[in-house]
């Protein structure tokens, strides 16, 4: 539909997962999954509960190590990917269950996202001298840009634990953005939100993608949101890939419809 429009934004392959098998003991979480994510696109992973979506994200950023298969990111093979490596090479993520420092302010939480970019030593930071001071200012500026971008000025100094759920989700997105990632993994960014919060979040995701050119991989249950946002969608069911393609293709695929609505056997 908007082929010409999207083509200019989307570049070549950024990441691919190839023939991933993941099992926990006797439970097979993922079976022979392969797909890729192109630069600049919004890629959704959908599927019923327990389909292996979160496992898939965890494989991508190295939380889980698959028994078979490998992750290829920016032309380099990782077998296996490790979380620290993923973060260093430009993959950031948010979690399905918010993982923030509840006692710290919004600002400090986002600042932690800049940790990898800081080079000053522990002593310098403790005494706030030398590089530490300059770095702090530099990073604060970047963080303020993100605060402005996500419109969370009013809660800059509020401890995160006191914020409502929807805002906490936004802070988590802010922290991930603070890493200036090339690939952003969002695990159900809209779970538990009301309609207005969902619409806001959708807008932020589109804006992040457009303004920073960040590639986004997204797990989401709300089909309306998925179909609106995504360039391509991959569908998982019982750890297997069911379909892969544009939102239109996927939503008219009989297997997908069956998996979501159920069929009489």
Residue 14 Cβ vs another protein, minimum distance, rounded to whole Å:
21
| Count of residues touching another protein (by CB under 8 A) | 19
Q: What angle do CA 241, 40, 81 make, to 5 degrees?
A: 55
Q: Choose the stretch contacting another protein; rule: CB under 8 A; options: 63-71, 169-177, 200-208, 248-256.
A: 200-208
Per-residue contact flags (x/-) with another protein for residues 206 to 235, judged by CB under 8 A? xx--xx------------------------
Residue 186 Cβ vs another protein, minimum distance, rounded to whole Å:
18
- Residues numbered 132 to 171 that lie near another protein (CB under 8 A) are 140-141, 144-145, 147-149, 151, 153-154, 156
Note whether 231 and 6 are within 8 A (CB): yes
Q: In terms of CB distance, is 32 or 207 closer to another protein?
A: 207
Q: In terms of CB distance, is 46 or 184 closer to another protein?
A: 184
Q: What is the rounded distance in angstroms from the CA atom of residue 22 to the CA atom of residue 237?
A: 14
What is the side-by-side strand order in the sheet with 215-219?
91-93, 183-187, 215-219, 42-46, 232-237, 240-245
Write b or e for each residue in 163-182: b if 16 or more Cβ atoms lie within 10 A of its Cβ, otherwise e.
Answer: beebbbbbbbbbbbbbbbbb
> Among residues 127, 192, 203, 258, which is the contact residue for another protein, using CB under 8 A?
203
Residue 180 Cβ vs another protein, minimum distance, rounded to whole Å:
16
Residues 6+ apart with CB under 8 A from 89: 73, 74
Q: Is the dihedral of CA 201, 207, 210, 211 positive or negative?
A: negative
Residues at the contact surface with another protein, assessed by CB under 8 A: 5, 140-141, 144-145, 147-149, 151, 153-154, 156, 196, 199, 203, 206-207, 210-211
């Amino acid at each position: 539909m908007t082929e010409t429009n999207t083509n200019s934004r989307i570049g070549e392959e950024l990441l691919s997962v190839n023939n991933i098998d993941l099992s926990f003991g006797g439970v097979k979480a993922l079976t022979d999954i392969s797909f890729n994510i192109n630069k600049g696109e919004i890629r959704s992973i959908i599927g019923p509960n327990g389909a292996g979506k979160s496992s898939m994200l965890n494989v991508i950023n190295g939380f889980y190590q698959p028994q078979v298969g490998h992750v290829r990111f920016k032309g380099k093979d990782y077998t296996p990917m490790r979380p620290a490596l993923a973060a260093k090479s430009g993959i950031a993520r948010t979690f399905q269950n918010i993982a923030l420092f509840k006692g710290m302010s919004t600002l400090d939480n986002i600042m932690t996202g800049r940790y990898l970019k800081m080079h000053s030593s522990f002593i310098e930071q403790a005494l706030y001298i030398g590089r530490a001071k300059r770095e702090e200012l530099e990073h604060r500026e970047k963080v303020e840009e993100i605060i402005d971008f996500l419109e969370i000025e009013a809660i800059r100094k509020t401890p995160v634990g006191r914020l409502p759920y929807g805002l906490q989700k936004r802070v988590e997105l802010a922290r991930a953005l603070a890493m200036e990632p090339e690939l952003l993994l969002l695990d159900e960014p809209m779970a538990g939100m009301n309609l207005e919060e969902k619409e806001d979040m959708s807008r932020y995701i589109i804006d992040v993608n457009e303004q920073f050119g960040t590639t986004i991989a997204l797990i989401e249950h709300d089909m309306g949101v998925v179909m609106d946002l995504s360039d391509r969608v991959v569908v998982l069911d019982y750890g297997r890939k069911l379909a892969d393609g544009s939102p239109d293709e996927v939503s008219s695929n009989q297997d997908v419809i069956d998996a979501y609505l159920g069929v009489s056997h």
